[in-house]
Chains A and B, each alone.
Chain A
């Protein structure tokens, strides 16, 4: 199934879905060296975001979070792509400077139709998300 969405950071990638209903503050929530969610209060605590299609509502916290996404890419532990309910500037800017495809405002609510482990393709240049089933 191909679902339309808005493109925020261009590029395309495929990966396994890792989904959370919690917003993410990349500064503080994510270890830039390992790509592990290190905030005990976070739904994804202890999970690796490396190579995943990370689905979360939106970013939050310090604007330094944008640079943390860049560090994740440099360290080879960044997500393959990201899907937001609605993107805000911290994650949008971070995704662009890091070259991580990012989309938001999917025509179908990603929290209804996607679950952990699904394989999806995010094409942020054309503006769609494709599920394999």
Chain B
């Protein structure tokens, strides 16, 4: 791998130990994957935030680092709402450790907004062709696929290293040839809303870590693409997908149709809803409903607020979003919370230990459907946003 003189100096420790380790990580990964050089990045998004996932081991490492990030950097969701953790049922010891982790990142100049949707934040706008070092799988998928930016799925330490150095190694999805689709997915029906998450949940299993191109009958919105990509990354390991005629690379580069084809029809999609609704012959009874995986966009917040306006819910319902989006729309938060639903920030149903307190969760996210059973040991039922709200038990309508 070719390094500039300045990079060599950093590697030799002349800019301090933290930067030396950081560039050593980037160079090692570059060597493993055959990168030719380091390239500048526009921003970083760093995984390894929830105490539930990184534990004391991660906390120790981050606490020992010194220095400041060179590009805007932000965090993945934490294990709790950083302000309302007690209300969520998170214990005090966990909360203490979680605060320590976030404070350790803050010391390095990282913005302590904890979200899987950094692309909604001020200062993290992404343009076509931008190189990034993002971690969270759905954010990686969205930036690569929907926004046409370029990032690999960075691990926690490599994203942090990239933020400290302001660069990442040039391999994988930073390169044109790695972005070409290798499997076609024919969708033989019209889809809407949560159907896209169901599609991702199904197709991801077959696609694995490859790059697919979808041929669709309907034209997905950005929010629908967000749920498709999140599910593809969770049930498979898809970091980039294309949609013929819709996603920016597919529109600009006019890819040839790959030989291998996967077909998905209406009955396949419906099966996702039906299969998760029952245990044997009995309809599953849920005790919590969660939406906002990935974190809700302003549009989604607005839609949910409109649906909950004037209603009272019987069951626990979480609407997960980033604190910045919640703070931007206090009136929407107010409407949602008046119904009894909670607007949960900085975290989500997958990474918070508070989700483990429930038996069966209804979700409108293919990603949550993939992860909730294994990571929270809670069974999951799939439905549209409308069905989710219905499931939460609407008492009165004005």
| Chain A residues in the interface with B (C-beta under 8 A) | 6, 8-10, 32, 63-64, 66-68, 70-71, 74, 87-90, 92-93, 96-97
Residue B53 lies at the interface, judged by CB distance under 8 Å to chain A: yes
Complex contact A93–B55 (CB within 8 A): no
Can you list 7 A-B contacts with CB-CB less than 8 angstroms, sorted by A residue number? Answer: A63-B48, A67-B48, A67-B57, A70-B57, A70-B61, A88-B32, A93-B25
Q: Name B's interface SS.
A: helix
* Known A66-B157, A67-B54, A67-B57; contact A97-B25, beta-carbon cutoff 8 A: yes
Complex contact A89–B57 (CB within 8 A): no
Query: Which residues of B from 127 to 176 have beta carbons under 8 Å from A?
Result: 155-158
- Taken residue by residue from 352 to 395, chain B's Cβ proximity to chain A (1 for < 8 Å, 0 otherwise) reads as 00000000000000000000000000000000000000000000
Nearest CB on B from A95, distance (A): 8
The 6 A-B pairs with the shortest beta carbon distances in the complex, nearest first, are A67-B57, A71-B57, A67-B58, A70-B61, A63-B155, A93-B157
* Known A10-B24, A96-B24, A97-B61; contact A67-B31, beta-carbon cutoff 8 A: no
Option from A8, A64, A87 in Cβ contact (under 8 Å) with B57: A64
Complex contact B156–A63 (CB within 8 A): yes
CA distance A9 to B24 in the complex (A): 7
Residue B56 lies at the interface, judged by CB distance under 8 Å to chain A: yes
Q: Name A's interface SS.
A: helix
Option from B55, B56, B60, B155 in Cβ contact (under 8 Å) with A89: B155
The residues of A that contact B21 with a CB separation of less than 8 Å are: 96-97
CA distance A66 to B28 in the complex (A): 14
Nearest CB on B from A22, distance (A): 21
Complex contact A74–B156 (CB within 8 A): no
* Known A8-B28, A74-B60, A93-B28; contact A64-B55, beta-carbon cutoff 8 A: yes
Residue B90 lies at the interface, judged by CB distance under 8 Å to chain A: no
Residue B29 lies at the interface, judged by CB distance under 8 Å to chain A: yes
* Known A67-B57, A68-B57, A70-B61; contact A96-B32, beta-carbon cutoff 8 A: no
- Taken residue by residue from 107 to 122, chain B's Cβ proximity to chain A (1 for < 8 Å, 0 otherwise) reads as 0000000000000000
Nearest CB on B from A12, distance (A): 15
How many B residues, CB 8 Å from partner?
20
The residues of B that contact A96 with a CB separation of less than 8 Å are: 21, 24-25, 28
The residues of A that contact B28 with a CB separation of less than 8 Å are: 8-9, 87, 92-93, 96
The residues of A that contact B29 with a CB separation of less than 8 Å are: 89, 92-93
Option from B25, B32, B60 in Cβ contact (under 8 Å) with A70: B60
Total A-B Cβ pairs within 8 A? 61
Nearest CB on B from A67, distance (A): 4
CA distance A90 to B156 in the complex (A): 10
Option from B31, B32, B53, B155 in Cβ contact (under 8 Å) with A66: B155
CA distance A87 to B28 in the complex (A): 10
Query: Which residues of B from 1 to 58 have beta carbons under 8 Å from A?
Result: 21, 24-25, 28-29, 31-32, 48, 53-58
Option from A8, A74, A93 in Cβ contact (under 8 Å) with B31: A8
Nearest CB on A from B211, distance (A): 20
Complex contact B157–A97 (CB within 8 A): yes
The residues of A that contact B25 with a CB separation of less than 8 Å are: 92-93, 96-97
CA distance A6 to B32 in the complex (A): 10
The residues of A that contact B32 with a CB separation of less than 8 Å are: 8, 87-89, 92
Complex contact A64–B53 (CB within 8 A): yes
CA distance A46 to B54 in the complex (A): 25
4 further A-B pairs in the complex, CB-CB below 8 A; given A64-B54, A92-B28, A93-B28: A64-B53, A67-B48, A67-B57, A68-B57
The residues of B that contact A97 with a CB separation of less than 8 Å are: 21, 25, 61, 157
Closest to B17 in A: A99
* Known A9-B28, A87-B32; contact A67-B155, beta-carbon cutoff 8 A: no
Nearest CB on A from B31, distance (A): 7
The residues of B that contact A74 with a CB separation of less than 8 Å are: 60
Interface centre among B29, B48, B157 (most CB of A within 10 A): B157
Closest to B58 in A: A67
CA distance A66 to B62 in the complex (A): 12
